[in-house]
Amino acid sequence: MKINILHAGYCTAPEHIAMHGGRWRTIHFPAMFALLQHPTFGAMLFDTGYSYRFFEETKKFPMRLYRWTTPVTLHEEELAINQLSTFDLRPQDISRVFISHFHADHITALKDFPKSKFVYMPHAFSGLRNLTPAEDVKHAFLRGLIPTDFASRSREVDMSQPILLPLEYAPFKTGYDLLGDGSIIGVELPGHAVGQMGLFARDENNKLFFFVADAAWLKRSIVENRPPHTITNLLFPDPEMYRNTLTDLHHYYLTHPDTHIIPSHCDETIKNYA
Ligand SMILES: [Zn+2]
């Protein structure tokens, strides 16, 4: 499998919010997405990065607040659909989009992929499906980003069929074999969002990647087991679980120096793979 780490747009926020003890200055948080080209299953994405729909969906109050708290910059050439053309791929070639969780910066381009199946943990979306508009605001959920035929194209992860992970994945014990051939393993990374899913995937050179989505915003948080500012507890559905997940990632990092751990918004990490 070929793996490319890309991003579409970035938002800005103070570093000390993303990581306890960080600098007060504002830094860039790119919106990462990954292109996974599998010999049998074809081209697939992990998340989508930003698209211009983010601006359309946050034009009006109260969703405009979303744009104010995380100001977004996006250049046209960064859009996932535009970057695919450099790989000789069209939007309809994307067979699957693995969705880590339903925060806008991960799903704004879902509507650009007319043939994709959507793979995600069922509880990541079940709690959002029937929210009222007022509740959407509370969850920062931009409903307009969800394709109208989302239900029929969804392939929810079958949580009744976990696999026991070999010791080399410790402390992560269970996962989900998302394609049935062992090439992409989904693991739950709870705390930041309900049903957040990370992926283990190995490339054609046998390099193991671990996409950890927003379980940490910065790689340094994992390296130093350093959580975000406590104000972010207001954003997380389960702050205690967030800490547990971060500690697991820290232990995994210490014992697996060869794995490429990729947090979705770590500018330093993502630049390394550009
Ligand atoms: Zn998020």
Task: Per-residue pLDDT tens, the chain, 274 aa: give them.
Answer: 999 999 999 999 888 888 888 888 999 999 999 999 999 999 999 999 999 999 999 998 888 887 888 899 999 999 999 999 999 999 999 999 999 999 999 999 999 999 999 999 999 999 999 999 888 887 879 999 999 999 999 999 999 999 999 999 999 999 999 999 999 999 999 999 999 999 999 999 999 999 999 999 999 999 999 988 888 888 888 999 999 999 999 999 999 999 999 999 999 999 999 8
Residue with tokens 């997380």: 236
d(CA 40, ligand 1 centre) in Å:
30
List the structure tokens of 97.
Answer: 């989009």
To the nearest 10°, the Cα dihedral for 7, 10, 13, 15? 30
CATH T-level fold of 2-272: Metallo-beta-lactamase; Chain A (3.60.15)
d(CA 100, ligand 1 centre) in Å:
9
Q: Is 36 exposed, middle or buried (0-12, 13-18, 19+ CB in 10 A)?
A: buried
d(CA 196, ligand 1 centre) in Å:
8
Q: What does the domain layout of the chain look like in residue ranges?
A: 2-272
d(CA 10, ligand 1 centre) in Å:
13
Assessment of whether the complete model's pTM goes beyond 0.75: yes
What's the CA angle centered on 199, arms 90 and 192, to 5 degrees? 110
* Residue (of 179, 119, 174, 173) closest to 150 by Cα position: 119
